[in-house]
Amino acid sequence: MIDKINRLKEEIEDFDITDAQSLEAFRLEYLSRNGKVQDMFKLMGSVPKDQKAAVGKLMNDVKVLAQERFNREKEKLERAQTKQFGPKDDITIPVEPTYTGSYHPLTIALNEIKQIFLRLGFNIADGPELEDDFHNFTALNFPPDHPARDMQDTFFIRRNDTGSKDDLVLRTHTSPVQIRLMKEKNPPIRSIMPGRVFRNEAVTAKSYFQFNQVEGLYVDRSVTMGELIETLVMFARLMYGSDVKYRVRPSFFPFTEPSIEMDIWWNNENGGQWLEILGAGMVDPNVFDAVGVDSEAYTGFAFGMGVDRIAMLRYGIDDIRLLYDNDIRFLNQFKL
Ligand code: PHE
């Protein structure tokens, strides 16, 4: 009996397995219900009682041996097969983390603003961030001694190459793009002009040396103040919801007359407060004169709003510096 078992054991060890077919033959020969291992167990009936335990153990070892050989050969064949299709990466190596991008909160806010004005029939224009005094100030009717030209607000840029007078500035607002547009083309003009602007201000949670504006300009025959206010109210409703509480106050800008500012009511823990969202007004005839638009034939309105404020209110961002640090832990919060 012991001999029989040992012979079976040798047979199992020596069986020639080279491919899927011989593997299957092995399985049928030894592991199937009618295979030699099961047959061997049938012999247990003839084993004397006192030897049953020892023989049973030997038989079981053979069974495990057969199963293990089968598993091993099967795995070997499978591995050989994948190799035929080229080297495979080790799938147990941890993958590099991948970072999916997200829109910057300023981009999200700007896209919303653009969508609203595109619906209202405006197109989109832009201009340079490096401006000259004429476009940033003079053509916009700033008197030569206006405080906004002061060193404290404006970054002046020295023009080394030409040796000409230092009249380059980082634009302090997007209004110079109005000037470029009106010089380039005749009315009607109905455009928004998004862009980055720069002011020489101390960096704090509330102010930064750069921020973003969206300028608006509508010039045609008989554009009215009523149309300006209607457009701004429409914007406020689409941006902040149809129940938005707003107010329009008189204001002053050198390039618009009359000038206004619009506030919206912002609810917060302490009840709420009025927040200025934009400046606007009717284009001053002096501006038309500076760019060669006939101020007798045409009127127009202009507005300028801050994008950073809108994004900060929308997402409860309490420090403007977060918008420019580009910390990935901050940016990842704005997945759409
Ligand atoms: N340029 C002004 C500012 O930066 C905003 C403005 C634009 C006001 C157009 C009136 C008309 O504050």
**Per-residue model confidence as pLDDT tens digits over 319-336:** 999 999 999 899 989 876
Q: At residue 101, does pLDDT exceed 90?
A: no
For ligand 1, whether the C-beta of 195 sits within 6 Å is: no
- φ, ψ for residue 266, nearest 5 deg: -115, 115
**29 annotated ligand binder:** no
Atom of ligand 1 nearest to the CA of 305: 5
Nearest CA to ligand 1 atom 9: 303
In angstroms, what is the span from residue 304 Cα to ligand 1's centroid?
4
For ligand 1, whether the C-beta of 281 sits within 6 Å is: yes
What does the alpha-carbon distance between residue 247 and residue 253 come to, in Å, rounded to a whole number?
18
Cα 37-38-42 angle, rounded to 5 deg: 115
Q: At residue 152, does pLDDT exceed 90?
A: no
Indicate the fold that domain 105-334 takes in CATH. Answer: BirA Bifunctional Protein; domain 2 (3.30.930)
What does the alpha-carbon distance between residue 138 and residue 287 come to, in Å, rounded to a whole number?
9
For ligand 1, whether the C-beta of 306 sits within 6 Å is: no
For ligand 1, whether the C-beta of 277 sits within 6 Å is: no
Residue 85: the pLDDT is 52
Most confident of 36-45, 94-103, 211-220: 211-220
Pocket test for ligand 1, best of 136, 137, 170, 173 (most atoms within 8 A of CB): 173
Residue 217: the pLDDT is 98
Pocket test for ligand 1, best of 142, 215, 253, 299 (most atoms within 8 A of CB): 253
Q: Where are the beta strands (DSSP E) in 199-245?
A: 210-220
Lowest mean per-residue pLDDT among 78-82, 117-121, 288-292: 78-82
Residue 83: the pLDDT is 61
Atom of ligand 1 nearest to the CA of 197: 4
pLDDT, averaged across the chain = 91
Q: Are strands 189-198 and 123-124 parallel, antiparallel or unpaired?
A: parallel
In angstroms, what is the span from residue 255 Cα to ligand 1's centroid?
8
Q: At residue 81, does pLDDT exceed 90?
A: no
Q: Where are the domains of the chain?
A: 2-81, 105-334
For ligand 1, whether the C-beta of 305 sits within 6 Å is: no
Over residues 143-158, mean pLDDT:
81
Q: By percentage, how much of the chain surpasses pLDDT 70? A: 95
- φ, ψ for residue 130, nearest 5 deg: -90, 115
In angstroms, what is the span from residue 52 Cα to ligand 1's centroid?
101
